[in-house]
Structure 1
Amino acid sequence: MHIAMKKMVSLLLVLLGTLSCSQDFIDRKPISTVSTDVLYKTDKDFEDAVIGIYQPFHAQYLNFWQIGDLTADDTEQQHSAALDLVNINNFIISSSLGVLNSSWLNYYQAIFRANTVLSNIDQANAATIPRKDRHIGEAKFLRALAYFDLVRIFGDVPMISAPISAPEAAKKGRDKVSTVYDELIIKDLLDAESKLPEKYAGADVGRATKGAAKALLGKVYLTRKDFAKAEAKLKEVTTMGYALLPNYNDLWDYTKNEHHSEYIFDIEYIDGGLGLGSTFSNIFAPNLSPIINFFGLKGAGGQNGSPTEALFTLYEPSDKRKAISIAHVKDGLIDRNGNLIPMTPIDATSYTKKYMAALVNPNDSKANWKVIRYADVLLMYAEALNENGKTTEALTVLNQVRARAGVPALTGLSQSEARDKIYLERRLEMYLEGHRWFDLVRTGRALAVMQSQGMKAHMTVFPIPLSQIQVINNPAIFPQNPGYD
């Protein structure tokens, strides 16, 4: 997707150049009236259209942490001026919340674009579209990812698998979660894994791969508690050549290539002054000059998404991930000469170090959002093995992740003890990577863990955005989620 973003910029620059240098565009058909026969003819036409499917995910995953992490127990909003984030943190959830509306629109924009590609490529001649299978695989992978996130966030949602008109859309009700999984997500991922390549070279590195489709499908099966299928699918991923990086810190060292042996699928951002980077380096940084200067940031720190005090206590003394992942402001920083830089918190008292990348411009970071990486696969595989009664095998897999972290291997645990250790390992390994909330929900622990923070029983899903309720304006076919009326 790194190259996808570059191509999108190139296309925009070409268009702007045409408009500024020539008058013949005045006599052309307006873009809004161009037929699909004109738009979808060549292999490159479809490649460009697939690139367009990736684009809404860039906007969506900038704020995915607000749902995947801020609602859970390892992340909190200490900076009180960000009222929406404080409300999310405290389960004051409104159907007019901005992140819910933008999430709905982003995902359905991606779905619309995927449906458009798939409807046009279906009858395309493979002889003239040599990468037809790859285009289909990418479109289906991205559509499945969008729907997977949608059902985990909102529950029942409209399942739309082909282009529809505005009047048809206005009458489309919500489909059951089970239907969306069975009739679209799983089928799309099975087809995607059969069509996508295992790897790419050169400029195409960063696109969805066969391994990404298998890994996401394994997560889908795990979410649905189909542990037998989850085990089988995740085992396939472990045979595809992926490997943990020896050094956990290398995952977060942005002077190095993010496409390494542990990489499976990221939402990819690029720096360079074009506004195509992520905001992570700024939004998670304390607004303190010593920290901003130390990490080579530009602009102000947002002071968002702080690690909770409880999280600090969970790491074992030898765990290398703690110092790499989280820090207290009051502990200061050790500069490159070994000197302590003392600091006093202004607002946020703790922060994550995972996304600190040197910047050319503010809010334009090269730090990607890791949707799936190999450690996630190993921990899911260990969980599936354990739930299938294979606890000894599960611990062997779990210990691969623990060994990299520098903590002792676990042996001789019961199934229940192993389950708790696997859950804990996911917290420590993947803090602030968008997993914790969904892990709590899918394992049935969300209410017990988060009730003290304000969660109520109905809050395992979020409200449908008010704007969508108002568009349909018919609770018989498009009701609000219970508890949010």
Structure 2
Amino acid sequence: MKLNKTINYLILGAGLSFGAVSCSDYLNTEPITDKPVELSDTPYKTAADAEDLMNTIYNDLGNEYWQLDYFFNGDAQTDVAYQGGDNPQNAQQSEYRILATNSNVSRDWNYIYGRINNCNKVINYVDKIPDTSLSAQRRKEMIAEASVMRAMYYFHAVQLWGDVPLVTQAVIGVTAENFEEVYAQVYPARKPVNEVYALIISDLEGALANVPASSNKYRASKGAALSLLAQVYATKPSPDFTKVVTYTDQLMTEGYSLLPTYDHLFDSEHEANAESIFEINGNGSSVWWWGTFMFIGTDWKKFNTPSNDLIKSFDAQGDAIRKASTVKFEPVGWSDKYWSSSSYPFAWKQREQSGNQNVYIFRYADLLLLRAEAKVRLGDYTGAAALVNQVRARVNLAPITITSATDGINKVLEERKLELAFEGQRWFDLKRTGKAIEIIKNRKDASGNPLSYAANITEQRLLWPIPQSQIDNNPNLTQNAGY
């Protein structure tokens, strides 16, 4: 038997020999017996194969992680929203008592690593496709887009779990020569947070030269890469706020601007607009957006019920414009300790019920406020206030001034709360600014009393547990402290 044809070898996951296997498949499998493996430089042969891989990456934006979990994770764990719904797994999240067996945590791990694996297929194999009709420039563009998307998913993972495995190869076969490399990809150990950020930054900075133009709102464009770089440099353990300013400097030359009317961002009549940097195209074909029904409708109690804290924040600022676009009150057939049945609030930014809802991953106002945050950290209080005031002027609010670092961070955070509620940002904003425990411990009910379960929040609970199913299947994984 020739090694360059087939080999009998230990397979570390069922179906591992072909690139179509998902990372969630091989991160969830156990060793089985010897099995022949067909060896190949690449399982993909044509330009059409490459385009199919790219379509998969973008179709992945229609899965449950994006339609529900990303928005629940980002808001229901904060002062913006209560859990809503009646799912006990979601209750664990919103009450800071997640177990390692929580099925939402497990599925998000599988979604994120499955999407990373799909990106790896492009990064690893597109350059090896023999079809000469696939141009060198298109190959570079594909790899750049996949690198931005992989960086985005690793950014989500490192913020949720801290130290995480770095899987960079889509495994298609095992040989005597690559056994150790394959083992490390199939049964990966966790890597320190700094190493994860180093990969993220390398992916993004390496992609900048070849990503599509910023005018493309539905692809991992230059604007998307710059936005993510700014977020990453603001969030990593040793933030580099000068880099945040540098990358937002570049972003501000890419043709973005605030829409004059705030509600046009969400009315489904202004998609791919001037403020949009990267958005998911829920066009009813490749991505049918069912997620809207998770947040609005009176047929059952929906997720992400707007909090009393959020409504009081809008009212305290006199922010009627953003309040009307963010929250809708309806009579319902239930009540709870937060709201009466006669006027019950729903998250209102996702409101298109035809399946054609578009949602933002990055938009310009978010990055202006992140730039303001960086300027506060760098001591430029006047510059920071000017950026915040651009965002406030759109909704007819009076300008602010900033007098100190503490004052500036508090005011930027408040502005982000009002501007970005129900866009999946708040949990990560609170963690990034070091305000999570302080603000979460003061979450209130309808009577203004602190929520009893807010006392559960600790530094350890700012990270999720590694799913127990992953630890059971992978002897190289360790658990986060406190779980």
TM-score range, shorter chain: 0.7 to 0.9
Asked if residue 314 in structure 1 is aligned to residue 313 in structure 2, the reply is: yes
Which residues in structure 2 correspond to 1:298-313 (within 5 Å)? 300-313=299-312
1:160 corresponds to which of 154, 160, 167: 167
C-alpha distance 173-410 of structure 1, shift in aligned 2 (>3 A) = same
Which residues in structure 2 correspond to 1:37-186 (within 5 Å)? 37=42, 39-42=44-47, 44-59=48-63, 60-62=65-67, 63-79=69-85, 81-123=86-128, 128-130=133-135, 131-164=138-171, 167-182=183-198, 184-186=199-201
Equivalent-residue separation in structure 2 for 1:280 and 1:123 (angstroms): 37
Equivalent-residue separation in structure 2 for 1:171 and 1:78 (angstroms): 37
Q: Deviations over 1:127-153 (max 9, x none)?
A: 643211210111101110110000001
Q: Deviations over 1:327-356 (max 9, x none)?
A: 33369xxxxxxxxxxxx9559932111111
Aligned-partner residue type, residue 442 of structure 1? R
Equivalent-residue separation in structure 2 for 1:429 and 1:393 (angstroms): 19
Equivalent-residue separation in structure 2 for 1:301 and 1:370 (angstroms): 26
Equivalent-residue separation in structure 2 for 1:286 and 1:197 (angstroms): 38
Asked if residue 269 in structure 1 is aligned to residue 277 in structure 2, the reply is: no
What's the CA shift for 1:449? 2.0
What's the CA shift for 1:482? 0.7
Computed over aligned residues only, the root mean square deviation of the Cα atoms, in angstroms, reads 2.5
C-alpha distance 38-456 of structure 1, shift in aligned 2 (>3 A) = closer
Between 1:114-123 and 1:397-406, the stretch displaced more is 114-123
Equivalent position of 2:245 in the other structure: 231
Aligned-partner residue type, residue 200 of structure 2? I
What's the CA shift for 1:386? 1.5
C-alpha distance 425-431 of structure 1, shift in aligned 2 (>3 A) = same
Where structure 1 has 5 or more consecutive residues not aligned to the other structure, the ranges are 1-31, 288-299, 332-343, 360-364
What's the CA shift for 1:188? 0.4
Equivalent-residue separation in structure 1 for 2:369 and 2:112 (angstroms): 27
What's the CA shift for 1:243? 0.4
- 1:144·1:185 contact (CA, 8 Å) conserved in 2? yes
Residue aligned with 1:313, SS: helix
Between 1:162-171 and 1:235-244, the stretch displaced more is 162-171
- 2:331·2:342 contact (CA, 8 Å) conserved in 1? no
Equivalent position of 2:226 in the other structure: 214
Equivalent position of 2:33 in the other structure: none
What's the CA shift for 1:423? 0.8
- 1:77·1:85 contact (CA, 8 Å) conserved in 2? yes
C-alpha distance 314-48 of structure 1, shift in aligned 2 (>3 A) = same
What's the CA shift for 1:282? 1.2
Equivalent-residue separation in structure 2 for 1:318 and 1:51 (angstroms): 40
Which residues in structure 2 correspond to 1:343-382 (within 5 Å)? 346=341, 349-359=344-354, 365-382=355-372
Equivalent position of 2:289 in the other structure: 278
Aligned-partner residue type, residue 152 of structure 1? Q
Equivalent position of 1:408 in the other structure: 398
Where structure 2 has 5 or more consecutive residues not aligned to the other structure, the ranges are 1-36, 175-181, 333-338, 442-452
C-alpha distance 55-312 of structure 1, shift in aligned 2 (>3 A) = same
Equivalent position of 2:203 in the other structure: 188
Equivalent position of 1:21 in the other structure: none
C-alpha distance 114-76 of structure 1, shift in aligned 2 (>3 A) = same
Aligned-partner residue type, residue 326 of structure 2? S
What is the identity percentage for the equivalent residue pairs of Structure 1 and Structure 2? 30
Alignment size in residue pairs = 413
